[in-house]
């Protein structure tokens, strides 16, 4: 990597030279590794590159998202999700033969160990599906001992196949458990998204093929959510992975981080917000609340740490939302019209324009998933299902780069050293 140099001059010290690395796309970075008597301070990592990566690139100003160099719009339109999984994992689109082999290896891993269904019995039926998924995915490390050795490439590959293949099965089991219906086994003659819909909505007493248009829409939604640079949950997976933790534990950590409403939980929060707003006549009241610093309310599905332009995924999601609503005969879905009007008003409001707050991937996903028949408590579960390939790809890259254990420093502002005060002297 070619580099210029930056100079850092500290009080009463001679200037320190720091290498500047130029990326293939995006912003130069200054390597501060050689700093020893001063730390940099960047809570929230707004200006800190945590790693080098070749997987995904976002240009927040232009609203560009590339997976291994391919624009998200083209992948969402032309590729199947499993092709995108191959691309993220291996760096290139699969040939016809590679695609067939990859799809077959995923298909033969879709079932889970039969004992895993017993894990569900330990949860209340009204447990949030994310709480169940968090526990069950972490517990996979108790079942698949031949994919735990992170230094063994075969183990890593097997773990990747198992996670990508089993997440839809586990997600559907979370849903079935919450509604008291029997678990539905995967079917090898269905594609990835069809299989998920089959396991979600199939019942033992009827054999119905999933709706192909809804399955294609869901497949596209998986692609839109597959990876996104070093977001909070991916950074969590990398940090957990840097300790040598097994892949199932690392993905479970990523699921935990994704659950927050500021991150992957925003799709569920956004639909709940639209339902709370209820009608176009209430929009201005909520816009006012979103702008009020004393009110914790934020416009869910709006704003982004990196995108300071329209999230390209939100554009594809809005189109997909329209298609799904039409297919299910809900083209006049009031919540969709409300969302469109809320977007229009917000994008004309100087508070949002000034801060470059645009709809993000979560703004339309909730309405779309709801129209497919998926309850809002399952939205982040589906985000986790789709993001698993991104987490695993980034985790693999970190291990291949022999990353050192992640251990940030701090700005300490607590008490200076003082002596212990025995209890009888504390009043
Ligand atoms: C995802 O990182 C990723 O890539 C994440 C993700 C992925 O694919 O992995 O893209 C998925 O998490 C998308 C984001 C989903 N979250 C939401 O929709 C929740 C609502 N959005 C906000 O919470 C917020 O926009 C964040 C968390 C997304 C970003 O927060 P930042 O970058 O820390 O921005 P900020 O809080 O510093 O906001 C800057 C200003 C502030 O106002 P000022 O203090 O400058 O006056 O914008 C305001 C904020 O108050 N602001 C909002 C707002 N988002 C930011 N005001 C009202 N409503 C909002 N949604």
Instruction: For 134-178, write each residue's pLDDT tens digit.
Output: 999 999 999 988 888 888 899 999 999 999 999 999 999 999 999
Residue nearest (by alpha carbon) to ligand 1 atom 39: 355
Q: Determine the Cα–Cα distance for residues 30 and 49; give it in Å rounded to an integer.
A: 9
- Report the atom number in ligand 1 closest to the C-alpha of 304: 28
Mean pLDDT of all residues in 51-71: 97
Torsion of CA 385, 387, 392, 395, to 10 degrees: -140
Asked whether the predicted pLDDT for residue 1 surpasses 60, the reply is no
266 lines ligand 1 (CB under 6 A): yes
Catalytic residues: 304, 362
What whole-number distance in Å separates Cα of residue 81 and Cα of residue 76? 8
Average pLDDT score over residue span 292-299: 95
Pull the structure tokens for residue 300: 């869910």
Q: Does the pLDDT of residue 344 top 70, yes or no?
A: yes
Whether the per-residue pLDDT at 286 is higher than 90: the answer is: yes
Indicate the helix (H) or strand (E) that contains 8. Answer: strand 3-8
Provide the token pair at 366. Answer: 């909730």
What string of H, E and C letters represents the secondary structure of 260-292?
Answer: CCCCCCHHHHHHHHHHHHCCHHHHHHHHHHHHC
**In this structure, what are the phi and psi dihedrals at residue 348, rounded to the nearest 5 degrees?**
-100, -5
Tokens encoding 363: 């703004």
| Mean pLDDT, rounded, for 112-140 | 96
pLDDT at 3 over 80: no
Distance in Å, CA 313 to ligand 1 centroid: 16
Token couple for 205: 């007493």
What confidence category does residue 2 fall into, taking pLDDT thresholds of 50, 70 and 90?
A: low
- The pLDDT value recorded for residue 331 is 84
Lowest mean per-residue pLDDT among 6-15, 241-250, 282-291: 6-15
Q: What is the mean pLDDT of the chain?
A: 95
- Percent over 70 (pLDDT), the chain: 99
Looking at residues 116-121, what average pLDDT do you find?
96
The answer to whether the CB of 379 falls within 8 A of the CB of 267 is: yes
* 170-225 confidence digits (pLDDT tens): 999 999 999 999 999 999 999 999 999 999 999 999 988 999 999 999 999 999 99
Per-residue confidence (pLDDT) for residue 102, from 0 to 100: 98
Bigger pLDDT: 266 or 384? Answer: 384
If 0-12 CB within 10 Å is exposed, 13-18 middle and 19+ buried, where does residue 367 land? buried
pLDDT tens-digit map of 62-92? 999 999 999 999 999 999 999 999 999 999 9
| Pocket perturbation via mutation, ligand 1, pick of 262, 301, 303 by most ligand atoms within 8 A of CB | 303
Closest ligand 1 atom, residue 298 Cα = 58
Q: Which two tokens stand for residue 94?
A: 């699969």
Is the whole model's pTM more than 0.75, yes or no? yes
């Amino acid at each position: 990597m070619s580099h210029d140099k930056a100079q850092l001059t500290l009080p009463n010290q001679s200037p320190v030279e720091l290498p500047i690395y130029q990326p293939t796309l995006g912003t130069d970075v200054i390597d501060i590794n050689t700093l020893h008597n001063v730390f940099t301070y960047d809570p929230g990592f707004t200006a800190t590159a945590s790693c080098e990566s070749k997987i995904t690139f976002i240009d927040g100003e232009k609203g560009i998202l590339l997976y291994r160099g391919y624009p998200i719009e083209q992948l969402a339109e032309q590729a199947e999700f499993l092709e995108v999984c191959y691309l993220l994992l291996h760096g290139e689109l699969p040939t016809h033969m590679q695609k067939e082999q990859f799809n077959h290896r995923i298909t033969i891993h879709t079932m889970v160990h039969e004992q895993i269904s017993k894990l569900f019995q330990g949860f209340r039926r009204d447990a949030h599906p994310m709480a169940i998924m968090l526990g069950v995915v972490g517990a996979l490390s108790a079942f698949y001992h031949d994919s735990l050795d992170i230094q063994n490439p075969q183990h890593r590959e097997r773990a990747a196949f198992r996670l990508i293949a089993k997440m839809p099965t586990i997600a559907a089991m979370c849903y079935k458990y919450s509604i008291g219906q029997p678990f539905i086994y995967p079917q090898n003659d269905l594609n990835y998204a069809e299989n998920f819909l089959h396991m979600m909505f199939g019942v033992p007493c009827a054999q119905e093929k999933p709706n192909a248009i809804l399955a294609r829409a869901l497949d596209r939604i998986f692609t839109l959510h597959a990876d996104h640079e070093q977001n909070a949950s991916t950074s969590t997976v990398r940090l957990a992975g840097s300790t040598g933790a097994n892949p199932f534990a690392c993905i479970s950590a990523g699921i935990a981080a994704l659950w927050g409403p500021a991150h992957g939980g925003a799709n569920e929060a956004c639909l709940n917000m639209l339902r709370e707003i209820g009608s176009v006549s209430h929009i201005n009241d909520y816009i006012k609340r979103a702008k009020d610093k004393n009110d914790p309310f934020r416009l869910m599905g709006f704003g982004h740490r990196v995108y300071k332009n329209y999230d390209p995924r939100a554009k594809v999601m809005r189109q997909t939302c329209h298609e799904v609503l039409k297919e299910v005969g809900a083209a006049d879905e009031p919540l969709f019209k409300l969302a469109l009007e809320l977007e229009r008003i917000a994008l004309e409001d100087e508070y949002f324009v000034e801060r470059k707050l645009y709809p993000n991937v979560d703004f339309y996903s909730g309405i779309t998933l709801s129209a497919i028949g998926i309850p809002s408590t399952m939205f982040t579960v589906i985000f986790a299902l789709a993001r698993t390939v991104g987490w695993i790809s980034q985790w693999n890259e970190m291990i291949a780069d022999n990353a050192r254990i992640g251990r940030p420093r701090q700005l300490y502002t607590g008490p200076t050293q003082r002596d212990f005060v025995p209890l009888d002297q504390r009043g």
